[in-house]
Structure 1
Amino acid sequence: MSGIESADQAKGQKTMKNEDRGGGATRYRLLDRFRDSRAGRRDGKRDAAVPSYRSPHPEGQPTDWLAKNQHRLLAGCQYEFSAARLAVDELLVQLTRARTDAAQARNELADATIRWQGASDGPSPEILQRRGPAELQDSEHTIDARRRAEHRQQLARLESTCEAARAKAAVAEATAADLTTRIEQRFGQAVDRSRELLELHEQRAAQYRRSYCRALRLAEPAAEQDHPLSTTPPLRLPQWTAEPCPWLPVEQPEATSTITTVRSIR
């Protein structure tokens, strides 16, 4: 798109705003058919009289009209690309936030899981034998039961922390997946619109060529056989239409968690 002049871009964008942007294919309007036929007849008569016009166009199209048709196509595609990018701007902000939340929740889950696993074998002998100032008169059995109850409470808190982090990660990941789908769908719509534009401009080029060759044949029958229009290069779409959505932020590798849920180990 860097080779397209700003005037051509503006013309292509203006054309797209006036075109039918409904769910069906982009319309080839009757007025445009008339104009394209008239341009073909005009250029065919001109080139029959001035052979130098038959040298190939520097951008691969044999006439200025066909080159401008290619420019209008690329400008329209750029409009679709830019409009789609603007439409998903807020979604991209939300996606970055959701991925950050998911990564943070996975880290919390991994940390809580490690602490849960470290405490899952039960209280150590040192903890079982530890006495506070208010426990000096308590029996060993009472101290042991109290320490084991405290340990069960600690495990329960860690289990709750793990499950809360897992739930938070699941929600954030589901949100990120939904946003990713919506962004990719909007990009896909821009690609589809660009292909509709390609079909439209191919129809316009075909209409122009028919009128051009008809006028050339009538004015100079011997010139048509070797005319550059017989090998007109195909119209092309920009490279981005054949690539994945380029707007998605790079996703960081997920933190490796030692368990899926605490309950799966128990």
Structure 2
Amino acid sequence: MGKDGVWQIRSVDLNHKCVFRGVNNKVNSEYLAERYLEDWRLDSNMKISKWQKQIKRDLGVDVKYGTCWLARARAKLTIYGDCSEQYGRVWDYVNAIRELIEGSTAIVVVENIERPPPYFHRIYICLKQIKEGFLAGCRPIIGVDGCHLKAAYPGLCLVAVGLDGNNNIYPVAWAIVEVQNGESWCWFLRLLMEDFGMEEGLGITIMSDRQKGIREAFNVVTPKAHVRYCVRHIWANFKLQFTGLVFKQAFWNAARASTEVI
């Protein structure tokens, strides 16, 4: 209203000039973990960069990498539980195997036993039914390998596998150790040979990819075993010095050639 008491109408600019910001403080790691929990349950290996794009499409906001990383950690904690709690129940796991599957081998090695709490060091598992199945229906060939555990508590998983009648992989025994070296491989192979009654590897063929420390373990624990190496890993080293199709064909022809029995 003007000074003379008459209402005055002023023009108003209705054009929106605010700058859009693709940021919302409410979209935090806790919210994202809860909203996308089932997505992580279905695909636990989803890349964070891919997830960021999905969030942008769904919510129209940009979320920082660190926030997504923390949200992923929250979601996996909800799905899988705390790793430390799982390691704390390792004795329950071992005792259950010993009580419910008699004849199986379940061994746990701990450290710091004098000053509790003790620390998990190693575990070895070989189930009775697997052992009997291998001895009854598999050829005397065992492949051994190891893979790194990528989690809050790193380590290595050592495995021994065979081949069943259909040439499918047949798990024999497995172990979790702290590091891959000659000493840990010796420990694993020694328990494996004791389980199957193969003194010094007599009568068995063992195949590996020449991982760190494993050749020394073969010499110490299984000197009487026939040792063979994975041809794919041999080829990976061979092609570094001998390149070209001719060498490749010659190598694989030699690898696939049978040996004539005289």
**Max radius of gyration: which structure?**
1
- For normalisation by structure 2, the TM-score amounts to 0.24
- Structure scoring higher RCO (CA < 8 A, sep ≥ 6) equals 1
Task: Pick the structure with more strand per residue.
Answer: 2
